Amino acid sequence: MSNETTKGKPHRFPKKYDPLKLLIVLESTEEKKASIIKEDIVSKFPEYDKATLKWFNETLQKLEKEGLVKRIEKRKEKAYYWIITEVGIKTRDGEQEN
């Protein structure tokens, strides 16, 4: 048996992206949708262009569980908006110093 999946395509592992990079483009005063966060990240780090919106949404939800970001739900829109928390700001600033 070869190194291929049952569909005949080689198995590829997803690229690893740093979730903490998302904190760089978030602000505590401006709410952003995941699609806008992706645009902002790609402008600073072009390698994130291949990351899916699903990855961004799942990563933001994980960061929310860690207290680094906060989700804001808009009633009239079926979308989540995200802002950075105080804990997220401290984490981001610590990462940028390193």
C-alpha to C-alpha distance for 42 and 90, rounded to whole angstroms? 23
Portion of the chain with pLDDT greater than 90, in percent: 65
Q: Which domains does the chain have, with CATH numbers?
A: 19-97 (1.10.10.10)
Cα-Cα-Cα-Cα torsion 76, 77, 78, 79, nearest 10 degrees, comes to: -130
Question: Could you tell me which residue, 77 or 30, shows the higher pLDDT?
Answer: 30
Query: How confident is residue 4, by pLDDT bands cut at 50, 70 and 90?
Result: very low
- Coil vs helix vs strand at 3: coil
pLDDT at 7: 54
Say if pTM beats, i.e. exceeds, 0.85: no
Going through 1-98 in order, the beta strands assigned E by DSSP cover 69-73, 80-84
Closest CA to 19 of 30, 34, 5, 4: 34
- Whether pLDDT at 31 is above 80: yes
pLDDT at 94: 87
